[in-house]
Structure 1
Amino acid sequence: MVKSILTVLGFVSCMVLFGQQKQILKGRVMAAGTPVSGATVNVEQTRFGAVTDTAGYFNIAVLQKEIFILKISAVGYTTVTRQVKMQATADSLYTIELQTVAADLSEIVVTGTMKEVSRMQSPVPVEVITPKLFQKNPTPSLFEAIGMVNGVKPQLNCNVCNTGDIHINGMEGPYTMILIDGMPIVSALSTVYGLNGIPNSIVERIEVVKGPGSSLYGSEAMGGIINVITKNPLKAPIVSADVFATSWREYSADASAKFKTGKVTGLLGVNYFNYQHPADKNKDGFTDLTLQDRISVFNKWNIERKDNRLASLALRYVSENRWGGQMEWDKNWRGSDSIYGESIYTKRWELIGMYQLPVKEKIMAQFSYNRHQQDSWYGVIPYMAEQQVLFAQMFWDKQWGSRHNFLLGGSYRYTFYDDNTPATTSADGLKNAAAHTPLPGIFVQDEWMINEKSTLLAGYRYDYNEHHGNVHSPRIAYKFSPNSRNTLRASFGTGYRVVNLFTEDHAALTGARQVVITEALDPERSYNGNLNYVLKIPMHNAFVGLDVTGFYSYFTNKIVGDFDTDPGKIIYDNLKGHAVSRGVALNADVNFAFPLKILAGITYMNVYSIEDRLNMPRKNIQLNAPEWSGNFVVSYSLPYQFAIDFTGKWDGPMRLPVLPNDYRPEYSPWFCIANLQLSKKFSNGLELYGGIKNLFNFLPEDPIMRPFDPFNKYVNDPVTNPHGYTFDPSYNYAPLQGIRSFLGMRYNLFK
């Protein structure tokens, strides 16, 4: 009955709609005398719209009305809202001018070449995630937000303490270099926790470069680079806030404020996250989500100088207390063998500075310092560590004529690392020996615009390591753009990494496994080739952007953890053979004439290693590297500033760490974590939003082996444990949180 009534009402509505007389709005969108193709033209408060053709023209069929409000937007241009009257004659045209945005968030990038350049002009492909994108699926940390980039996977490595790292194209976290404003702030010991405490309110954009970047950034930039660009205080809102809570009683507050004193403009950002209500929905006796109490404070200053020279200084402090384990655990059981828990206290200080020298040439000086202290217990295994990293860099940015953009620089990186593990024990094993690692380097790069269609970039870096000697890292990239709708990029580069095992492999600390190192570990090397093609397709009712990349990376001296030989041990050595990461990634961006936008990506990859032991080559598929994966964002704008966002990330089967004779499958199932959000914007800068996370309520099965015996006290009982299973929380491929709701509020106050 209800269905019949709705059908009749829908039919009547359509008859009324089509019964009204329509008229045609005609116009052309221009910018500095040049037609703008692919611009979206919407009639406000209606469902009508169009996309401009290659000559900038649009036609919109609308209902009879005298005055309309048009909203025109295009990538790289300011959005224009214009009130128009219906044309006096059928041949009348409206010409609408757009202004180019000098620093559009989606177009200006620095990570690929260490200088500001249009994203489309960069010979190195760079993917960008902006606050507008990750606000479509609000998260309490950038660790989760970065998963909205196709081919980038935030991987949880432990089901107890929920530590994780970032995988790019299937390679483990240590192969990903994480920068803040171009400085190597987050690395080694802090990689696991570094992205958790960055306030979203101070982030302008995140840039992702897939493939080695060691020719500019040195060690650790083997598999890819994630550069967190913080806001310029001069352009930030006066006050910004973002507060939300979930039905799991997670609370996240993110706020920032701008202030000015004389020639100094500052931005203060604070992020607080709290979750203190243990939940065990899968009934294994362990917390499904790690309890956390985290605060991060960020303060950045920009100084106005003569001739617009740059000068900035930023400070950040992070303090976090997290624990996971058996439901009855509290801090009184820390380090005991009665009730299992993994407890981590983290304190972190960061300093970042940039100064342009007061000389005629453009010479930039950059520096950073960070100190990371960790006090942690994994069951009865203590891990006490401290890391300090001092980094200084200076480079000369020179334009030679009209075709050569030259970069010459030098850097010095000093790392101090100390912990209570064998990693910092003297050769005789009798005393502690903290690691002191100086790493000086020089680099040079030339970007040559051969003609209006072709650009060639060549770069080289030389580093010296006291243990491994001379390290050379060349790269070359080529871009060909026959027109504004087609761009082809090809690149080849190398990367290297000096390994600090215990700071990067969390499996070495959790699950009560014994760590065995069979030899002195040599630095890893990688060689990468990328082929990228970007195609823009303006259509009558839509604008389609396609971005496809083929990648191939070859790794030597790869550090491999052997989990299979002995279930009670992790055995590390240099790979006797090589490793490969190869595949294809496709991103699609579709803007329709009506207010619907779709972003979707899919990645196919084949990641494996070939190990040669006793002249018997063996192929091993990389753990936690799904052959197929993808993401999607579907956004629809409703009248009165309402919007619906449907977002998600899906993974195909991936190989997981299983024990001998394990009853759990070696490969995970296909799954999708989808989210739905409804938001409403108000004219005073306020925005309300709410929705559902993990809409399909997907949960992994059997995430912890033998949760009832976390200290392995009864593993040798042949009756209750005939297969010799041991406690192991590393079988992870998806979050343990099921479906949950969230509700939040954002506010931005500008001048």
Structure 2
Amino acid sequence: MKKRYILLLCLSTLFIWRQAKGNEPYKTDANIFGHVLDKNTKEHLPYVTVQLKGTTLGTTTDATGHYFLKNLPTGNFTLEVKMIGYKTITKEVKIIANTTQEIDFEMEEESIPLNAVVVSANRNETNRMLAPSLVSVVDIKMLEATNSKSLAQALNFQPGLRVEDNCQNCGFSQVRINGLEGAYSQILIDSRPIYGALTGVYGLEQIPSNMIDRIEVIRGGGSALFGSSAIGGVINVITKEPSRNSGDIVHMFSSINGKAAENNTMFNASILTENRKAGIMLYGQNRDRQGYDHDGDSFTEMPMLKNRSFGFRSFLKTGLYSKLSIEYHNMHEFRRGGDSLKQQPFQSKITEQLEHYINGGGINYVQNSADMKNKFNLYASAQHT
């Protein structure tokens, strides 16, 4: 059953890619180009999101801060420019067939990102300043600055919650929100509660940081919106979506007092079709950490840990106001603590050993009305552990 589920997701992604390659963009020859600058330094800003607000049409600036939108539908639209750490800018624009326009932007830095969009407050995209509940956000800049390898390390820098290591032998991490144990906090992937309550206990180190675009945290009960486990709070992991053709691979080596070595390798790759109607983002991680014995009593203070994860997220823009997305992730974790780690568990004095295999994913379809007053959302998600 598990293999059939994985095969179905892969075939669906290939179908999406084929459909996107075959679909021709609007033949209007209506184009918009320009550049985006920092208002203070006048430097060009790379990888800024530029899109027609309310539609699925958009792009990002290149490494030199320039963008180009071609074959756009005609009519009156709002051109929106946004980037983490900067205030969002909008301009009204009238798109005319067989006409090319130049529209430039100057963005101003924002010390407190109140204009950021969050989805965890009421399950819809909402301006953070207008959200009915307080939402704390950990963005990708914070993940990179803190060199976080997993969700557990990223949450260490959030106020109002605590990530703690429990059990000296197996050394699992759990998150406490409002003092409640991990089982009382709901962890979501792209706003979907496909992880069980024990994810807050055992799953924090299974979610790699390179699949995360941002993390939204709500402190306080949210069971009415997110399920019975959201008593202490909600942690919503928003995964990355492909925005440009890119790829990177990173390897990190570290050790604890020169005794326990840790090797961590991560990769990301994004591919988009030329008309930007479809894209796919692949990610993976392999983490290997040796057990650490601090006081030389032959029992580990930190367990041996082996993590492996792989997944993808793809999309197909089925229309001007509709989009279909598919997400899949495969994770494996093995951890063992105690003594005699190289022997079988029954040959040791004290051993705790855990091993998890997780296959999960989902399909999501979104349809907006032309006036952006109505939205239809249909999704299905599943997980096998």
2:302 to 289, 314, 329: 289
Compared CA separation, residues 237 and 172, structure 1 to 2 (3 A)? farther
* Contact kept? 1:106, 1:128, Cα under 8 Å: no
- Mapping 1:524-563, distance limit 5 Å: none
Match of 1:256 in 2: 268
Q: Aligned AA for 2:334? A: N
1:204 aligns with 2:213: yes
Compared CA separation, residues 74 and 203, structure 1 to 2 (3 A)? closer
Match of 2:133 in 1: 124
Compared CA separation, residues 239 and 346, structure 1 to 2 (3 A)? same
Q: Which runs of 5+ in 1 are unaligned?
A: 1-38, 45-72, 80-95, 373-751
Three-state SS of the structure 1 residue aligned to 2:356 is strand
Q: Aligned AA for 1:175? A: Y
1:268 to 255, 278, 282: 282
Distance in 1 of aligned mates of 2:327 and 2:288: 25
Distance in 2 of aligned mates of 1:315 and 1:269: 10
Q: Aligned AA for 2:250? A: D
1:349 aligns with 2:359: yes
Match of 2:250 in 1: 242
Q: Aligned AA for 1:247? A: S
Match of 1:167 in 2: 176
Deviation of 1:117 (Å):
1.3
Distance in 2 of aligned mates of 1:98 and 1:318: 39
Distance in 1 of aligned mates of 2:336 and 2:137: 33
Deviation of 1:251 (Å):
1.2
- Mapping 1:105-184, distance limit 5 Å: 107-184=116-193
Compared CA separation, residues 207 and 236, structure 1 to 2 (3 A)? farther
Distance in 2 of aligned mates of 1:295 and 1:120: 38
Distance in 1 of aligned mates of 2:362 and 2:273: 20
Match of 2:349 in 1: 339
Compared CA separation, residues 205 and 246, structure 1 to 2 (3 A)? same
* Contact kept? 1:206, 1:229, Cα under 8 Å: yes
Three-state SS of the structure 2 residue aligned to 1:319 is strand
Distance in 2 of aligned mates of 1:204 and 1:147: 17
Distance in 2 of aligned mates of 1:222 and 1:271: 31
Aligned identity (percent) is 29
Match of 2:312 in 1: 299
Three-state SS of the structure 2 residue aligned to 1:302 is strand
Q: Which has the larger radius of gyration?
A: 1
1:77 to 77, 83, 87: 87
Deviation of 1:304 (Å):
1.4
1:336-358 deviation line (CA, Å, top 9, x unaligned) = 5x522111121111112211258
Deviation of 1:148 (Å):
0.4
Distance in 2 of aligned mates of 1:356 and 1:74: 24
Deviation of 1:106 (Å):
7.3
Deviation of 1:286 (Å):
0.9
* Contact kept? 2:311, 2:328, Cα under 8 Å: yes
Three-state SS of the structure 2 residue aligned to 1:182 is coil
Match of 1:186 in 2: 195
1:363 aligns with 2:376: yes
Deviation of 1:99 (Å):
6.8
Three-state SS of the structure 1 residue aligned to 2:155 is helix
Distance in 1 of aligned mates of 2:166 and 2:177: 15
* Contact kept? 2:115, 2:127, Cα under 8 Å: no
Compared CA separation, residues 236 and 163, structure 1 to 2 (3 A)? farther
- Mapping 1:611-622, distance limit 5 Å: none
Compared CA separation, residues 335 and 366, structure 1 to 2 (3 A)? farther
If each structure's strand is expressed as a fraction of its own residues, which one has the higher value?
1
Three-state SS of the structure 1 residue aligned to 2:210 is helix
Deviation of 1:331 (Å):
4.3
Q: Aligned AA for 1:250? A: E
Compared CA separation, residues 322 and 74, structure 1 to 2 (3 A)? closer
If each structure's helix is expressed as a fraction of its own residues, which one has the higher value?
2
Distance in 2 of aligned mates of 1:301 and 1:74: 22
Three-state SS of the structure 1 residue aligned to 2:294 is coil
* Contact kept? 2:183, 2:201, Cα under 8 Å: no
RMSD (Å), alpha carbons: 3.0
* Contact kept? 2:245, 2:271, Cα under 8 Å: no
Compared CA separation, residues 301 and 105, structure 1 to 2 (3 A)? farther
* TM-score after normalising by structure 1: 0.35
* Contact kept? 2:336, 2:354, Cα under 8 Å: yes
- Count residues with an aligned counterpart: 283
Q: Aligned AA for 1:369? A: A
- Mapping 1:411-422, distance limit 5 Å: none
Compared CA separation, residues 210 and 365, structure 1 to 2 (3 A)? same
Three-state SS of the structure 1 residue aligned to 2:296 is coil
Distance in 1 of aligned mates of 2:84 and 2:175: 32
* Contact kept? 1:181, 1:230, Cα under 8 Å: yes
Compared CA separation, residues 99 and 184, structure 1 to 2 (3 A)? same
* Contact kept? 2:292, 2:303, Cα under 8 Å: no
Compared CA separation, residues 99 and 148, structure 1 to 2 (3 A)? closer
Match of 2:78 in 1: none
Q: Which runs of 5+ in 2 are unaligned?
A: 1-37, 44-82, 90-104
Deviation of 1:365 (Å):
0.9
1:311 aligns with 2:324: yes
Three-state SS of the structure 2 residue aligned to 1:133 is helix
Compared CA separation, residues 344 and 124, structure 1 to 2 (3 A)? same
Match of 1:325 in 2: 338
Distance in 1 of aligned mates of 2:294 and 2:108: 53
* Contact kept? 2:135, 2:216, Cα under 8 Å: yes
Deviation of 1:75 (Å):
4.5
Q: Aligned AA for 1:275? A: R
Deviation of 1:40 (Å):
9.4
Three-state SS of the structure 2 residue aligned to 1:192 is helix
Compared CA separation, residues 151 and 125, structure 1 to 2 (3 A)? same
